[in-house]
């Protein structure tokens, strides 16, 4: 969340920054007013508490002097002011809670480097790699859901029977390919990232720490009986791994990776293409994440982008890099680069990875700080993460790109070690 102190000194800058995301300036005015009210009430409460302490000393002095009337008068006044202090405390707590709730719902301030714009149409294509629109044959212009059905490796009807629409079921080499893609991504990042296998059901405070709650509650799966949430991404548990901790600067950047299943209702996807694997409720993904100092963060962000690109390069897929405009950033992100892989059968660019720099927005919610090596008070870390490889759309692009004229799918060499000897799916 945004540092409430900035409401006192930088409110106009905050209005400008959040205005780039379409946030009404009135929300900042409301937050600033709540902060001012909380500080006023807290000041009055502290003054009342100090007065009660002074009166208590006066009661003792009067009693020692044998002046019972004065002692009773001061005691009565102390009780009256004590009640006022309790009332002020309740009002201050109410203002603080209202301010906290408002700050939880406000998005992060975009980086100055993020392009201006209001939506996906304003995102900037930084570069396009390995894409030649004239190089694809007719045999590659078959959508993956047809390829998968023909080869018996993707059974959407069975998935729908078991769990409902948009829950895919992979079979035979298709299932092996899911695991192979994830193992490839883990192995490619094992040189610098600690592998973690986190729980896939988490507490409410864990979801709040990344900004997925309360804003995106409708998109999440909630196990109400246990008050647990199915994770939409491994970013959620990994960000909270150091929640409420103070790290040493010498240990930063701290890099983590995890292969998990991810669950999203995609409640806002009505009317968007949901055929095949284009949009699903459950999918496998390898997440890469880092805690860093503010000075390290830009370099770490570039490294995460390069690593996510590296997996697509290893697979020989065409892709492009997008710099997301301020109006299309995720709520918690200050700067994001998306990688979109080209799927020739669908003739679509599909988002395969979103690599984001959250500045200290998530760290303030999760209370993750570090001790500066040069001394001074603990400071909030910066968090960054991205998909090292998200399976469904990469799986789709791969089987379309590598489909052969006889209907088989040739596997790129990078996957051969993970496919139990298979080099072609027939």
pLDDT in tens, 331-349: 999 999 999 999 999 999 9
Same domain, 94 and 132: no
Q: Give the CATH number of the domain where residue 215 resides.
A: 3.30.930.10
d(C-alpha 279, C-alpha 308), whole Å: 20
Residue 172 belongs to a domain = yes
Inter-residue contact 259 to 212 (CB < 8 Å): no
pLDDT recorded at residue 269:
52
Regarding whether 388 and 343 lie in a shared domain, the answer is yes
The torsion defined by the Cα of 288, 293, 296 and 302, in degrees rounded to 10, comes to: 30
- Domain of 25 in residue numbering reads as 6-105
177 and 28, same structural domain? Answer: no
CB burial of 203-222 (b: ≥16 within 10 Å; e: otherwise) equals eeebbbbbbbbeebeeebeb
* pLDDT at position 78: 95
90 and 205 in a single domain? The answer is: no
Shared domain for 127 and 27, answered yes or no, is: no
pLDDT digits (tens, 9 = 90+) for 244-271: 999 999 999 999 999 999 999 975 555 4
| Inside any domain, residue 216 | yes
Q: 247-277 burial string, b = 16+ CB within 10 Å, else e? A: bebeebbbbbbbbbebbbbeeeeeeeeeebb
State the CB neighbour count (10 A cutoff) for residue 80. Answer: 12
CA distances (Å), origin 192, targets 189, 239, 255, 303, 334: 6, 17, 7, 11, 24
**Contacts by residues 361-364 (CB-CB < 8 Å, ≥ 24 positions apart):** 361/1, 361/2, 361/108, 361/211, 361/332, 361/334, 362/209, 362/210, 362/211, 362/239, 362/332, 363/291, 364/1, 364/2, 364/3
Same domain, yes or no: 66 and 186: no
Q: What 3-state class would DSSP assign to 203?
A: strand
Residue 49 belongs to some domain of the structure: yes
Asked which of 72, 105, 138 is the last residue of a domain, the reply is 105
pTM of this structure: 0.93
d(CA 314, CA 306): 12
Q: Which residues of the chain have pLDDT under 50?
A: 271
Task: State the DSSP H helix or E strand holding residue 235, giving kind and residue range, or none if neither.
Answer: helix 235-239
Identify the pLDDT of residue 373.
Answer: 97
Q: Residue 324 domain-assigned? A: yes
Give the angle subtended at the CA of 147 by the CAs of 137 and 352, to the nearest 5°: 85
pLDDT at position 273 is 73
Q: How many CB atoms lie within 10 A of CB 57?
A: 12
Q: Which stretches within 154-216 are classed as H helix?
A: 156-163, 172-189, 204-210
Predicted local confidence at residue 272, as pLDDT: 54
Q: Which residue shows structure tokens 């960054």?
A: 384
Q: Is residue 111 part of a domain?
A: no
- Closest C-alpha to 204, from 219, 224, 190: 224
Domain count, the chain: 2
Structural domain ending residue among the three candidates 105, 135, 159? 105
The reply to whether 202 and 333 lie within a common domain is yes
Looking at the fold, whether 28 and 54 belong to one and the same domain comes out as yes
112 lies in a domain?
Answer: no
- The DSSP element (H or E) to which 366 belongs, if any, is helix 361-366
Domain termination site, one of 76, 105, 134: 105
Q: SS3 breakdown of the chain: % helix, strand, coil, rounded to 5?
A: 45, 20, 30
Pair 159, 20 in one domain: no
Same domain, 318 and 399: yes
Q: Please check whether residues 17 and 124 belong to one and the same domain.
A: no
The answer to whether the beta carbons of residues 37 and 92 sit under 8 Å apart is no
Answer yes or no: do 168 and 41 share one domain: no
Has residue 113 been placed in a domain?
no
Distance CA 56, CA 161 (A): 73
For 123, residues 6+ apart whose C-beta sits below 8 A from its C-beta are 115, 117, 322, 323, 324, 325, 328, 338
Supply the CATH number for residue 100's domain: 1.10.287.40
Give strand pairing partners of 154. Answer: 170
Identify whether 276 is part of a domain: yes
Does residue 290 contact residue 241 with C-beta atoms inside 8 Å?
A: no
């Amino acid at each position: 969340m945004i540092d409430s102190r900035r409401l006192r000194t930088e409110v106009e800058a905050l209005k400008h920054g959040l205005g780039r995301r379409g946030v009404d300036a009135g929300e900042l005015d409301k937050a600033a007013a709540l902060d001012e009210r909380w500080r006023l009430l807290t000041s009055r409460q502290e003054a009342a508490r100090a007065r009660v302490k002074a009166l208590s000393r006066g009661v003792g002095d009067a009693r020692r002097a044998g002046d019972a009337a004065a002692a009773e008068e001061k005691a009565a006044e102390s009780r009256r002011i004590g009640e006022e202090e309790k009332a002020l405390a309740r009002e201050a707590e109410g203002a603080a809670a209202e301010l906290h709730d408002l700050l939880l719902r406000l998005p992060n301030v975009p980086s100055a480097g993020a392009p201006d714009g209001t939506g996906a149409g304003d995102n900037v294509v930084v570069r396009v790699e390995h894409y030649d629109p004239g190089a694809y044959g007719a045999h590659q212009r078959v959508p993956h859901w047809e390829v998968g059905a023909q080869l018996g490796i993707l059974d959407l009807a069975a998935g729908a029977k078991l769990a409902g629409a948009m829950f895919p079921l992979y079979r035979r080499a298709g299932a092996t390919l899911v695991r192979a893609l994830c193992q490839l991504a883990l192995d490619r990042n094992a040189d610098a990232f600690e592998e973690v296998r986190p729980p896939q059901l988490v507490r409410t405070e864990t979801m709040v720490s990344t900004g997925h709650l309360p804003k995106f509650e409708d998109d999440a799966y909630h196990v109400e009986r246990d008050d647990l949430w199915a994770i939409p991404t491994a970013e959620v548990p990994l960000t909270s791994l150091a929640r409420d901790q103070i790290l040493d600067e010498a240990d930063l950047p701290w890099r983590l990776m995890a292969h998990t299943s991810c669950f999203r209702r995609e409640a806002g996807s009505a009317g968007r293409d949901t055929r095949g694997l284009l949009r699903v409720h459950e999918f496998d993904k390898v997440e890469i994440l880092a805690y860093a100092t503010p000075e390290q963060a830009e370099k770490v962000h570039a490294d995460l982008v390069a690593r996510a690109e590296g997996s697509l390069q290893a697979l020989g897929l065409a892709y492009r890099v997008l710099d997301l405009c301020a109006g299309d950033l995720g709520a918690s992100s200050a700067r994001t680069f998306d990688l979109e892989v080209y799927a020739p059968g669908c003739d679509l660019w599909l988002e395969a990875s979103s690599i984001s720099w959250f500045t200290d927005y998530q760290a303030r919610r999760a209370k993750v700080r570090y001790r500066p090596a040069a001394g001074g008070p603990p400071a909030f870390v910066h968090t960054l993460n991205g998909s090292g490889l998200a399976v469904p759309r990469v799986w789709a692009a791969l089987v379309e790109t590598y489909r052969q004229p006889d209907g088989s799918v040739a596997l790129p060499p990078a996957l051969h070690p993970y496919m139990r000897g298979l080099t072609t799916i027939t």
